[in-house]
Copies of this chain bind each other. A is one copy, B any other.
Amino acid sequence: MEKRFEAYGWHTITVEDGNDCTWIDCALQDAKAETSRPSIIFIRTTIGCGAPHKEGTFEAHGSPLGAEEVLAAKKFLGWPAEPAFFIPDDALAFFRSAVDRGREWEEQWEKDFTQYRNEFPELAAEFTRVMEGRLPDGWESRPPSYPDGTKDTATRKASESAMQTLASSLPELMGGSADLNPSTFTWLKGLGDFQKPGMPQENTQGAVGGAWGYDGRNIHFGVREHAMGAIAVGMALHGGIIPYTATFLTFSDYMRPPIRLAALMGLRILFVFTHDTIGLGEDGPTHQPIEHIMNLRAVPNLTVIRPADANEAVESWKAALLNQAGPTALIFTRQNLPVLSRSELSPASGLQRGGYTLWDSSPAKPDIILLGTGSEVLIALEAGRNLASEGRRVRVISLPSWDIFDRQPAEYRDQVLPPDVRIRIAVEAGIKLGWEHYVGLDGAVVGMDGFGASAPAKVLYEKFGITAEHMVKAAKELAR
Protein backbone atom coordinates (compact mmCIF):
# COMPACT_ATOMS: atom_id res chain seq x y z
CA MET A 1 0.00 0.00 0.00
CA GLU A 2 2.80 2.42 0.88
CA LYS A 3 4.47 1.78 -2.49
CA ARG A 4 1.20 2.30 -4.30
CA PHE A 5 0.66 5.74 -2.77
CA GLU A 6 4.30 6.60 -3.35
CA ALA A 7 3.66 5.76 -7.00
CA TYR A 8 0.84 8.35 -6.96
CA GLY A 9 3.32 10.95 -5.69
CA TRP A 10 1.91 11.06 -2.18
CA HIS A 11 3.86 11.60 1.02
CA THR A 12 3.59 8.33 2.95
CA ILE A 13 4.16 7.86 6.67
CA THR A 14 4.02 4.56 8.52
CA VAL A 15 3.42 4.13 12.25
CA GLU A 16 4.58 0.63 13.18
CA ASP A 17 2.86 0.54 16.58
CA GLY A 18 -0.55 2.17 16.45
CA ASN A 19 -1.09 1.49 20.14
CA ASP A 20 1.50 4.11 20.97
CA CYS A 21 -0.20 7.49 20.61
CA THR A 22 3.12 9.36 20.68
CA TRP A 23 4.01 7.97 17.28
CA ILE A 24 0.61 8.86 15.87
CA ASP A 25 1.11 12.41 17.15
CA CYS A 26 4.49 12.52 15.43
CA ALA A 27 3.00 11.26 12.18
CA LEU A 28 0.30 13.93 12.27
CA GLN A 29 2.90 16.65 12.81
CA ASP A 30 4.92 15.23 9.95
CA ALA A 31 1.86 15.21 7.67
CA LYS A 32 0.97 18.80 8.56
CA ALA A 33 4.50 19.95 7.81
CA GLU A 34 4.27 18.56 4.25
CA THR A 35 2.36 21.18 2.26
CA SER A 36 3.38 20.39 -1.31
CA ARG A 37 1.57 17.05 -1.72
CA PRO A 38 -1.06 14.93 0.05
CA SER A 39 0.01 12.77 2.96
CA ILE A 40 -1.26 9.35 3.92
CA ILE A 41 -0.51 7.75 7.30
CA PHE A 42 -0.41 3.97 7.60
CA ILE A 43 -0.96 2.88 11.19
CA ARG A 44 -0.26 -0.76 12.02
CA THR A 45 -2.46 -2.14 14.78
CA THR A 46 -3.65 -5.53 15.92
CA ILE A 47 -7.38 -6.06 15.38
CA GLY A 48 -9.21 -6.67 18.65
CA CYS A 49 -6.09 -5.72 20.63
CA GLY A 50 -6.46 -6.87 24.23
CA ALA A 51 -9.17 -9.47 23.57
CA PRO A 52 -7.14 -12.53 24.48
CA HIS A 53 -8.93 -15.12 22.30
CA LYS A 54 -10.03 -12.99 19.33
CA GLU A 55 -7.08 -10.60 19.02
CA GLY A 56 -5.62 -10.80 15.52
CA THR A 57 -8.55 -12.76 14.05
CA PHE A 58 -11.44 -11.74 11.80
CA GLU A 59 -13.85 -12.68 14.59
CA ALA A 60 -12.93 -9.36 16.19
CA HIS A 61 -14.28 -7.53 13.11
CA GLY A 62 -17.45 -9.20 11.93
CA SER A 63 -19.36 -9.70 15.16
CA PRO A 64 -19.43 -8.41 18.76
CA LEU A 65 -16.80 -9.79 21.13
CA GLY A 66 -19.41 -11.26 23.46
CA ALA A 67 -19.72 -10.81 27.23
CA GLU A 68 -17.09 -13.40 28.15
CA GLU A 69 -14.41 -12.05 25.85
CA VAL A 70 -15.15 -8.47 26.93
CA LEU A 71 -14.56 -9.55 30.54
CA ALA A 72 -11.28 -11.23 29.57
CA ALA A 73 -10.18 -8.11 27.68
CA LYS A 74 -10.94 -5.93 30.71
CA LYS A 75 -8.89 -8.26 32.87
CA PHE A 76 -6.01 -8.02 30.37
CA LEU A 77 -6.21 -4.21 30.43
CA GLY A 78 -6.45 -4.08 34.22
CA TRP A 79 -9.93 -2.59 34.15
CA PRO A 80 -12.72 -3.39 36.64
CA ALA A 81 -15.37 -5.88 35.48
CA GLU A 82 -18.13 -3.42 36.40
CA PRO A 83 -19.68 -1.19 35.18
CA ALA A 84 -20.25 -2.92 31.81
CA PHE A 85 -19.54 0.31 29.94
CA PHE A 86 -16.43 1.55 31.73
CA ILE A 87 -14.60 4.78 30.90
CA PRO A 88 -11.23 5.27 32.65
CA ASP A 89 -10.97 8.61 34.44
CA ASP A 90 -7.93 9.82 32.53
CA ALA A 91 -9.64 9.06 29.18
CA LEU A 92 -12.74 10.94 30.33
CA ALA A 93 -10.71 13.93 31.46
CA PHE A 94 -8.77 14.01 28.18
CA PHE A 95 -11.89 13.92 26.00
CA ARG A 96 -13.73 16.44 28.20
CA SER A 97 -10.85 18.89 27.76
CA ALA A 98 -11.90 19.11 24.10
CA VAL A 99 -15.08 20.86 25.18
CA ASP A 100 -13.24 23.80 26.74
CA ARG A 101 -10.72 23.94 23.92
CA GLY A 102 -13.50 23.93 21.33
CA ARG A 103 -15.46 26.61 23.15
CA GLU A 104 -12.41 28.85 23.24
CA TRP A 105 -11.74 28.37 19.56
CA GLU A 106 -15.32 29.07 18.63
CA GLU A 107 -15.43 32.25 20.71
CA GLN A 108 -12.24 33.45 19.08
CA TRP A 109 -13.63 32.70 15.64
CA GLU A 110 -16.85 34.58 16.38
CA LYS A 111 -14.85 37.56 17.57
CA ASP A 112 -12.68 37.51 14.45
CA PHE A 113 -15.68 37.18 12.18
CA THR A 114 -17.51 40.08 13.85
CA GLN A 115 -14.47 42.25 13.27
CA TYR A 116 -14.29 41.06 9.66
CA ARG A 117 -17.98 41.83 9.16
CA ASN A 118 -17.48 45.35 10.50
CA GLU A 119 -14.56 45.97 8.20
CA PHE A 120 -15.91 44.17 5.09
CA PRO A 121 -19.70 43.99 5.39
CA GLU A 122 -20.32 42.93 1.77
CA LEU A 123 -17.74 40.17 1.74
CA ALA A 124 -18.96 38.89 5.09
CA ALA A 125 -22.55 38.84 3.85
CA GLU A 126 -21.47 36.96 0.73
CA PHE A 127 -19.52 34.44 2.85
CA THR A 128 -22.54 33.92 5.09
CA ARG A 129 -24.80 33.53 2.07
CA VAL A 130 -22.75 30.79 0.39
CA MET A 131 -22.11 28.98 3.68
CA GLU A 132 -25.85 28.94 4.34
CA GLY A 133 -26.51 27.74 0.80
CA ARG A 134 -28.80 30.62 -0.13
CA LEU A 135 -28.96 31.73 -3.77
CA PRO A 136 -28.35 35.48 -4.30
CA ASP A 137 -31.00 37.88 -5.56
CA GLY A 138 -31.23 37.83 -9.33
CA TRP A 139 -29.29 34.60 -9.66
CA GLU A 140 -31.54 33.43 -12.47
CA SER A 141 -31.71 36.63 -14.45
CA ARG A 142 -30.63 36.62 -18.10
CA PRO A 143 -30.84 32.87 -18.67
CA PRO A 144 -30.43 31.78 -22.30
CA SER A 145 -33.70 31.24 -24.10
CA TYR A 146 -34.48 29.56 -27.37
CA PRO A 147 -37.29 31.25 -29.28
CA ASP A 148 -39.36 29.51 -31.95
CA GLY A 149 -37.31 28.81 -35.00
CA THR A 150 -33.99 28.35 -33.19
CA LYS A 151 -31.93 25.71 -34.94
CA ASP A 152 -31.87 22.17 -33.52
CA THR A 153 -29.90 22.08 -30.27
CA ALA A 154 -28.66 19.17 -28.16
CA THR A 155 -29.75 19.55 -24.53
CA ARG A 156 -26.07 19.16 -23.52
CA LYS A 157 -25.39 22.33 -25.53
CA ALA A 158 -28.28 24.23 -23.95
CA SER A 159 -26.95 23.06 -20.59
CA GLU A 160 -23.58 24.56 -21.50
CA SER A 161 -25.18 27.94 -22.21
CA ALA A 162 -27.22 27.84 -19.01
CA MET A 163 -24.11 27.05 -16.99
CA GLN A 164 -22.21 30.06 -18.34
CA THR A 165 -24.85 32.58 -17.27
CA LEU A 166 -25.58 30.87 -13.95
CA ALA A 167 -21.88 30.67 -13.11
CA SER A 168 -21.54 34.42 -13.50
CA SER A 169 -24.10 35.07 -10.75
CA LEU A 170 -23.15 32.07 -8.59
CA PRO A 171 -19.48 32.13 -7.58
CA GLU A 172 -20.13 29.02 -5.49
CA LEU A 173 -20.85 26.90 -8.59
CA MET A 174 -17.79 24.78 -9.24
CA GLY A 175 -17.07 21.40 -10.79
CA GLY A 176 -15.99 19.53 -13.86
CA SER A 177 -16.12 16.24 -15.68
CA ALA A 178 -14.39 12.87 -15.75
CA ASP A 179 -12.09 13.92 -18.60
CA LEU A 180 -15.07 14.51 -20.89
CA ASN A 181 -15.48 18.30 -21.15
CA PRO A 182 -15.38 18.28 -24.98
CA SER A 183 -18.35 15.85 -24.90
CA THR A 184 -20.36 16.89 -21.85
CA PHE A 185 -19.77 20.64 -22.45
CA THR A 186 -19.68 21.21 -18.71
CA TRP A 187 -16.83 23.71 -18.57
CA LEU A 188 -17.18 27.16 -17.06
CA LYS A 189 -15.38 29.06 -19.78
CA GLY A 190 -12.72 31.53 -18.69
CA LEU A 191 -13.38 30.83 -15.01
CA GLY A 192 -10.06 29.13 -14.44
CA ASP A 193 -8.60 25.69 -13.98
CA PHE A 194 -8.40 24.31 -10.45
CA GLN A 195 -4.79 23.13 -10.61
CA LYS A 196 -1.65 23.31 -8.53
CA PRO A 197 -0.35 26.87 -8.96
CA GLY A 198 2.81 27.27 -10.95
CA MET A 199 2.14 24.37 -13.31
CA PRO A 200 2.08 25.17 -17.02
CA GLN A 201 -1.06 26.95 -18.13
CA GLU A 202 -0.52 28.37 -21.59
CA ASN A 203 -1.83 26.08 -24.32
CA THR A 204 -2.30 23.18 -21.93
CA GLN A 205 -4.57 20.62 -23.53
CA GLY A 206 -7.99 20.66 -21.86
CA ALA A 207 -7.41 23.99 -20.09
CA VAL A 208 -10.57 26.03 -19.84
CA GLY A 209 -8.87 29.41 -19.62
CA GLY A 210 -8.72 32.04 -16.92
CA ALA A 211 -6.83 31.69 -13.67
CA TRP A 212 -4.62 28.64 -13.14
CA GLY A 213 -4.54 27.72 -9.46
CA TYR A 214 -6.77 27.11 -6.49
CA ASP A 215 -9.12 29.92 -7.48
CA GLY A 216 -9.95 28.12 -10.73
CA ARG A 217 -13.53 26.84 -10.81
CA ASN A 218 -13.04 24.01 -13.33
CA ILE A 219 -11.91 20.75 -11.76
CA HIS A 220 -10.22 18.18 -13.97
CA PHE A 221 -11.27 15.00 -12.18
CA GLY A 222 -9.67 12.57 -14.61
CA VAL A 223 -11.24 9.32 -15.80
CA ARG A 224 -12.51 8.32 -12.36
CA GLU A 225 -16.24 8.65 -11.89
CA HIS A 226 -16.35 7.09 -8.42
CA ALA A 227 -13.71 9.45 -7.03
CA MET A 228 -15.35 12.39 -8.84
CA GLY A 229 -18.62 11.69 -7.03
CA ALA A 230 -16.84 11.24 -3.71
CA ILE A 231 -14.95 14.52 -4.15
CA ALA A 232 -18.23 16.34 -4.90
CA VAL A 233 -19.68 14.87 -1.69
CA GLY A 234 -16.72 16.23 0.26
CA MET A 235 -17.07 19.67 -1.34
CA ALA A 236 -20.78 19.82 -0.53
CA LEU A 237 -20.15 18.74 3.06
CA HIS A 238 -17.55 21.48 3.42
CA GLY A 239 -20.18 24.04 2.48
CA GLY A 240 -19.97 27.29 0.57
CA ILE A 241 -19.79 25.41 -2.72
CA ILE A 242 -22.41 24.00 -5.08
CA PRO A 243 -20.44 21.21 -6.76
CA TYR A 244 -21.30 19.59 -10.07
CA THR A 245 -19.86 16.58 -11.85
CA ALA A 246 -20.29 15.30 -15.40
CA THR A 247 -19.88 12.11 -17.40
CA PHE A 248 -21.82 9.92 -19.83
CA LEU A 249 -25.02 8.48 -18.40
CA THR A 250 -23.89 4.88 -18.82
CA PHE A 251 -20.91 5.63 -16.57
CA SER A 252 -23.27 6.59 -13.75
CA ASP A 253 -22.85 2.90 -12.90
CA TYR A 254 -19.31 3.68 -11.73
CA MET A 255 -20.47 6.34 -9.29
CA ARG A 256 -23.55 4.85 -7.70
CA PRO A 257 -22.02 4.69 -4.19
CA PRO A 258 -21.22 8.43 -3.94
CA ILE A 259 -24.55 9.36 -5.58
CA ARG A 260 -26.32 7.24 -2.95
CA LEU A 261 -24.36 8.84 -0.10
CA ALA A 262 -25.14 12.32 -1.44
CA ALA A 263 -28.85 11.38 -1.42
CA LEU A 264 -28.61 9.84 2.06
CA MET A 265 -26.88 12.95 3.42
CA GLY A 266 -29.21 15.37 1.61
CA LEU A 267 -26.43 17.23 -0.19
CA ARG A 268 -27.03 19.71 -3.01
CA ILE A 269 -24.84 18.27 -5.75
CA LEU A 270 -25.59 18.43 -9.47
CA PHE A 271 -24.70 15.21 -11.23
CA VAL A 272 -24.74 15.93 -14.96
CA PHE A 273 -25.08 12.99 -17.36
CA THR A 274 -25.02 13.31 -21.14
CA HIS A 275 -25.33 10.79 -24.01
CA ASP A 276 -28.53 9.57 -22.42
CA THR A 277 -29.98 6.88 -24.73
CA ILE A 278 -29.43 4.78 -27.84
CA GLY A 279 -29.59 8.22 -29.47
CA LEU A 280 -25.83 8.52 -28.85
CA GLY A 281 -25.44 6.25 -31.86
CA GLU A 282 -22.42 4.34 -33.04
CA ASP A 283 -20.65 3.86 -29.69
CA GLY A 284 -23.03 0.94 -29.28
CA PRO A 285 -24.60 -1.08 -26.46
CA THR A 286 -21.77 -0.75 -23.91
CA HIS A 287 -22.21 3.03 -24.03
CA GLN A 288 -25.98 3.18 -24.46
CA PRO A 289 -27.87 3.58 -21.19
CA ILE A 290 -30.99 1.41 -20.94
CA GLU A 291 -31.73 0.82 -17.25
CA HIS A 292 -29.88 3.89 -15.98
CA ILE A 293 -32.59 6.57 -16.00
CA MET A 294 -34.96 4.30 -14.08
CA ASN A 295 -32.22 3.19 -11.72
CA LEU A 296 -31.47 6.78 -10.78
CA ARG A 297 -35.18 7.44 -10.25
CA ALA A 298 -35.21 4.54 -7.78
CA VAL A 299 -32.66 6.21 -5.45
CA PRO A 300 -34.53 7.88 -2.57
CA ASN A 301 -34.03 11.66 -2.34
CA LEU A 302 -32.24 11.89 -5.68
CA THR A 303 -34.15 14.19 -8.04
CA VAL A 304 -33.84 13.12 -11.67
CA ILE A 305 -34.57 15.60 -14.47
CA ARG A 306 -34.52 14.76 -18.16
CA PRO A 307 -35.50 17.83 -20.20
CA ALA A 308 -37.19 17.57 -23.59
CA ASP A 309 -35.51 20.47 -25.39
CA ALA A 310 -33.17 23.43 -25.02
CA ASN A 311 -35.64 25.54 -23.02
CA GLU A 312 -36.42 22.70 -20.62
CA ALA A 313 -32.67 22.15 -20.26
CA VAL A 314 -32.28 25.73 -18.99
CA GLU A 315 -35.21 25.18 -16.62
CA SER A 316 -33.64 21.93 -15.38
CA TRP A 317 -30.52 23.76 -14.22
CA LYS A 318 -32.70 26.21 -12.28
CA ALA A 319 -34.70 23.38 -10.69
CA ALA A 320 -31.51 21.60 -9.68
CA LEU A 321 -30.08 24.71 -8.02
CA LEU A 322 -33.37 25.29 -6.20
CA ASN A 323 -33.32 21.74 -4.81
CA GLN A 324 -31.52 22.12 -1.48
CA ALA A 325 -32.84 18.89 0.01
CA GLY A 326 -30.61 16.53 -1.95
CA PRO A 327 -28.71 15.87 -5.14
CA THR A 328 -30.11 16.22 -8.65
CA ALA A 329 -29.23 14.17 -11.70
CA LEU A 330 -29.47 16.22 -14.90
CA ILE A 331 -29.80 14.05 -17.99
CA PHE A 332 -29.03 15.47 -21.41
CA THR A 333 -28.84 14.27 -25.00
CA ARG A 334 -25.80 14.02 -27.20
CA GLN A 335 -27.89 14.46 -30.35
CA ASN A 336 -29.50 17.66 -31.59
CA LEU A 337 -33.20 18.08 -30.88
CA PRO A 338 -35.73 20.50 -32.37
CA VAL A 339 -36.55 23.41 -30.06
CA LEU A 340 -40.22 22.93 -29.23
CA SER A 341 -42.38 25.79 -30.51
CA ARG A 342 -43.55 27.42 -27.31
CA SER A 343 -45.99 29.67 -29.17
CA GLU A 344 -48.00 26.53 -29.91
CA LEU A 345 -47.16 24.66 -26.70
CA SER A 346 -47.11 25.38 -22.96
CA PRO A 347 -44.07 27.22 -21.61
CA ALA A 348 -41.00 25.26 -20.53
CA SER A 349 -41.34 26.69 -17.02
CA GLY A 350 -43.83 23.85 -16.49
CA LEU A 351 -40.73 21.76 -15.78
CA GLN A 352 -40.62 23.35 -12.31
CA ARG A 353 -43.64 21.17 -11.45
CA GLY A 354 -41.95 18.02 -12.74
CA GLY A 355 -44.53 17.33 -15.44
CA TYR A 356 -47.03 19.46 -17.32
CA THR A 357 -49.54 19.39 -20.12
CA LEU A 358 -47.50 20.34 -23.15
CA TRP A 359 -50.35 20.22 -25.65
CA ASP A 360 -54.06 19.44 -25.78
CA SER A 361 -55.70 18.72 -29.10
CA SER A 362 -58.93 20.27 -27.85
CA PRO A 363 -60.26 22.15 -24.80
CA ALA A 364 -62.35 19.08 -23.93
CA LYS A 365 -61.14 16.35 -21.63
CA PRO A 366 -58.76 14.01 -23.47
CA ASP A 367 -59.53 10.38 -24.34
CA ILE A 368 -55.89 9.54 -24.80
CA ILE A 369 -52.86 10.69 -22.82
CA LEU A 370 -49.35 10.43 -24.21
CA LEU A 371 -46.41 10.88 -21.85
CA GLY A 372 -42.72 11.17 -22.55
CA THR A 373 -39.44 12.55 -21.28
CA GLY A 374 -36.37 14.02 -22.95
CA SER A 375 -35.80 13.40 -26.63
CA GLU A 376 -38.92 11.22 -26.81
CA VAL A 377 -41.35 14.05 -26.01
CA LEU A 378 -41.06 14.99 -29.67
CA ILE A 379 -42.20 11.48 -30.61
CA ALA A 380 -45.18 11.75 -28.25
CA LEU A 381 -46.05 15.10 -29.81
CA GLU A 382 -45.92 13.70 -33.34
CA ALA A 383 -48.07 10.73 -32.29
CA GLY A 384 -50.51 13.09 -30.56
CA ARG A 385 -50.92 15.24 -33.66
CA ASN A 386 -51.44 12.17 -35.82
CA LEU A 387 -54.11 10.84 -33.49
CA ALA A 388 -55.77 14.28 -33.29
CA SER A 389 -55.89 14.50 -37.07
CA GLU A 390 -58.03 11.37 -36.95
CA GLY A 391 -60.45 13.02 -34.55
CA ARG A 392 -59.14 11.71 -31.23
CA ARG A 393 -58.94 13.99 -28.21
CA VAL A 394 -55.32 13.76 -27.14
CA ARG A 395 -53.16 15.25 -24.41
CA VAL A 396 -49.36 15.21 -24.57
CA ILE A 397 -47.50 15.48 -21.27
CA SER A 398 -43.86 16.34 -20.85
CA LEU A 399 -42.70 14.59 -17.67
CA PRO A 400 -39.05 15.61 -17.18
CA SER A 401 -38.96 14.82 -13.44
CA TRP A 402 -41.02 12.09 -11.79
CA ASP A 403 -39.62 13.12 -8.41
CA ILE A 404 -40.76 16.73 -8.65
CA PHE A 405 -44.11 15.78 -10.22
CA ASP A 406 -44.89 13.25 -7.48
CA ARG A 407 -44.18 15.93 -4.85
CA GLN A 408 -46.92 18.21 -6.31
CA PRO A 409 -50.34 18.40 -4.61
CA ALA A 410 -52.77 15.67 -5.72
CA GLU A 411 -54.98 18.38 -7.23
CA TYR A 412 -52.30 19.39 -9.71
CA ARG A 413 -51.34 15.82 -10.54
CA ASP A 414 -54.97 14.84 -11.15
CA GLN A 415 -55.43 17.90 -13.34
CA VAL A 416 -52.51 16.89 -15.54
CA LEU A 417 -53.28 13.16 -15.40
CA PRO A 418 -57.07 12.83 -14.90
CA PRO A 419 -57.42 9.59 -12.88
CA ASP A 420 -60.23 8.22 -15.05
CA VAL A 421 -58.43 8.61 -18.37
CA ARG A 422 -56.77 5.23 -18.61
CA ILE A 423 -55.65 5.13 -22.23
CA ARG A 424 -52.14 6.25 -21.45
CA ILE A 425 -49.10 5.54 -23.57
CA ALA A 426 -45.64 6.42 -22.32
CA VAL A 427 -42.51 6.71 -24.43
CA GLU A 428 -38.90 6.67 -23.28
CA ALA A 429 -35.82 5.19 -24.94
CA GLY A 430 -34.99 3.28 -21.78
CA ILE A 431 -36.20 0.21 -19.90
CA LYS A 432 -40.00 -0.03 -19.72
CA LEU A 433 -40.01 -1.23 -16.10
CA GLY A 434 -41.32 1.48 -13.80
CA TRP A 435 -43.53 3.34 -16.28
CA GLU A 436 -46.61 1.47 -15.01
CA HIS A 437 -46.37 4.02 -12.17
CA TYR A 438 -48.15 6.37 -14.61
CA VAL A 439 -49.78 4.15 -17.23
CA GLY A 440 -50.95 1.34 -14.94
CA LEU A 441 -52.13 -2.05 -16.15
CA ASP A 442 -54.39 -0.61 -18.87
CA GLY A 443 -51.82 1.55 -20.61
CA ALA A 444 -48.81 0.82 -22.78
CA VAL A 445 -45.12 1.68 -22.77
CA VAL A 446 -43.05 2.28 -25.87
CA GLY A 447 -39.52 1.66 -24.67
CA MET A 448 -36.61 -0.75 -24.57
CA ASP A 449 -36.68 -4.41 -23.50
CA GLY A 450 -33.04 -5.19 -24.08
CA PHE A 451 -29.68 -3.65 -24.90
CA GLY A 452 -29.01 -1.25 -27.76
CA ALA A 453 -26.90 -1.60 -30.89
CA SER A 454 -24.35 0.32 -32.90
CA ALA A 455 -25.86 2.50 -35.65
CA PRO A 456 -26.91 6.11 -36.23
CA ALA A 457 -29.61 7.32 -33.81
CA LYS A 458 -32.33 7.43 -36.44
CA VAL A 459 -31.74 3.82 -37.48
CA LEU A 460 -31.80 2.64 -33.85
CA TYR A 461 -35.04 4.42 -32.99
CA GLU A 462 -36.66 2.68 -35.97
CA LYS A 463 -35.11 -0.70 -35.15
CA PHE A 464 -36.28 -0.64 -31.53
CA GLY A 465 -39.69 0.80 -32.42
CA ILE A 466 -39.35 4.00 -30.41
CA THR A 467 -41.52 5.83 -32.94
CA ALA A 468 -44.67 7.93 -33.22
CA GLU A 469 -46.11 5.21 -35.47
CA HIS A 470 -45.69 2.66 -32.69
CA MET A 471 -47.34 5.00 -30.17
CA VAL A 472 -50.28 5.64 -32.48
CA LYS A 473 -50.73 1.90 -32.99
CA ALA A 474 -50.64 1.24 -29.24
CA ALA A 475 -53.16 4.03 -28.61
CA LYS A 476 -55.55 2.70 -31.24
CA GLU A 477 -55.34 -0.82 -29.84
CA LEU A 478 -56.13 0.42 -26.34
CA ALA A 479 -58.93 2.71 -27.59
CA ARG A 480 -60.72 -0.10 -29.44
Give the residues in chain B near A451, CB-CB below 8 Å. 263-264, 300-301
User: Is the C-beta of A257 less than 8 angstroms from some C-beta in chain B?
Assistant: yes
- Cα separation A411 to B433 with both chains bound (whole Å): 21
Contact of A58 among B1, B182, B256, B290 (CB under 8 A): B182
User: Is the C-beta of A206 less than 8 angstroms from some C-beta in chain B?
Assistant: yes
Interface string of A1-25 (1 = CB under 8 A from B): 1111011100000000000000000
Interface string of A423-443 (1 = CB under 8 A from B): 000000001011011001110
A257: nearest chain-B partner, CB-CB = B253
- Cα separation A291 to B252 with both chains bound (whole Å): 15
Give the residues in chain B near A297, CB-CB below 8 Å. 433
User: Is the C-beta of A408 less than 8 angstroms from some C-beta in chain B?
Assistant: no
User: Is the C-beta of A298 less than 8 angstroms from some C-beta in chain B?
Assistant: yes
Give the residues in chain B near A298, CB-CB below 8 Å. 291, 294-295, 298, 431, 433-434
- Cα separation A443 to B260 with both chains bound (whole Å): 29
User: Is the C-beta of A449 less than 8 angstroms from some C-beta in chain B?
Assistant: yes
- Cα separation A205 to B4 with both chains bound (whole Å): 25
What size tier do the contact residues of chain A reach?
35 or more
Interface string of A88-125 (1 = CB under 8 A from B): 00000000000000000000000000000000000000
Inter-chain contact B300/A291, CB cutoff 8 Å: yes
User: Is the C-beta of A448 less than 8 angstroms from some C-beta in chain B?
Assistant: yes
Give the residues in chain B near A1, CB-CB below 8 Å. 7
User: Is the C-beta of A254 less than 8 angstroms from some C-beta in chain B?
Assistant: yes
User: Is the C-beta of A62 less than 8 angstroms from some C-beta in chain B?
Assistant: yes
Give the residues in chain B near A442, CB-CB below 8 Å. 440-441
Chain A residues numbered 1-59 whose CB sits less than 8 Å from any CB in chain B: 1-4, 6-8, 57-58
User: Is the C-beta of A450 less than 8 angstroms from some C-beta in chain B?
Assistant: yes
Interchain nearest-CB distance for A80 vs B (Å): 27
Interface string of A249-265 (1 = CB under 8 A from B): 00001101100110110
Inter-chain contact A431/B7, CB cutoff 8 Å: no
Give the residues in chain B near A3, CB-CB below 8 Å. 3, 6-7
Scoring A4, A62, A253, A285 by chain B CB atoms within 10 A of each residue's CB, the highest score goes to A253
Give the residues in chain B near A299, CB-CB below 8 Å. 291
- Cα separation A1 to B294 with both chains bound (whole Å): 37
User: Is the C-beta of A341 less than 8 angstroms from some C-beta in chain B?
Assistant: no
Give the residues in chain B near A295, CB-CB below 8 Å. 291, 294-295, 298
User: Is the C-beta of A150 less than 8 angstroms from some C-beta in chain B?
Assistant: no
Inter-chain contact B6/A57, CB cutoff 8 Å: no
Give the residues in chain B near A7, CB-CB below 8 Å. 1-4, 6-7
User: Is the C-beta of A164 less than 8 angstroms from some C-beta in chain B?
Assistant: no
User: Is the C-beta of A145 less than 8 angstroms from some C-beta in chain B?
Assistant: no
User: Is the C-beta of A183 less than 8 angstroms from some C-beta in chain B?
Assistant: yes
Give the residues in chain B near A128, CB-CB below 8 Å. none
Inter-chain contact A264/B291, CB cutoff 8 Å: no
Tell me whether A260 and B264 are in contact in the complex, defined as CB-CB below 8 angstroms, given that A3-B3, A4-B8, A434-B433 are known contacts. no
Inter-chain contact A286/B261, CB cutoff 8 Å: yes
Contact of A264 among B261, B285, B419, B440 (CB under 8 A): B285
Give the residues in chain B near A441, CB-CB below 8 Å. 419, 422, 440-442
Tell me whether A440 and B436 are in contact in the complex, defined as CB-CB below 8 angstroms, given that A285-B264, A301-B451 are known contacts. yes
Scoring A62, A206, A256 by chain B CB atoms within 10 A of each residue's CB, the highest score goes to A256
Interface string of A219-262 (1 = CB under 8 A from B): 00000000000000000000000000000000001101100110
Give the residues in chain B near A257, CB-CB below 8 Å. 253-254
7 contacts between A and B (CB under 8 A): A291-B298, A291-B300, A294-B298, A295-B295, A300-B431, A301-B450, A433-B437
Using a CB–CB cutoff of 8 Å, the interface residues on chain A facing chain B are 1-4, 6-8, 57-58, 62, 182-183, 205-206, 253-254, 256-257, 260-261, 263-264, 285-286, 290-291, 294-295, 297-301, 419, 422, 431, 433-434, 436-437, 440-442, 448-451
By Cβ-Cβ distance, the 4 closest A-B pairs, closest first, are: A3-B7, A440-B441, A291-B298, A436-B436
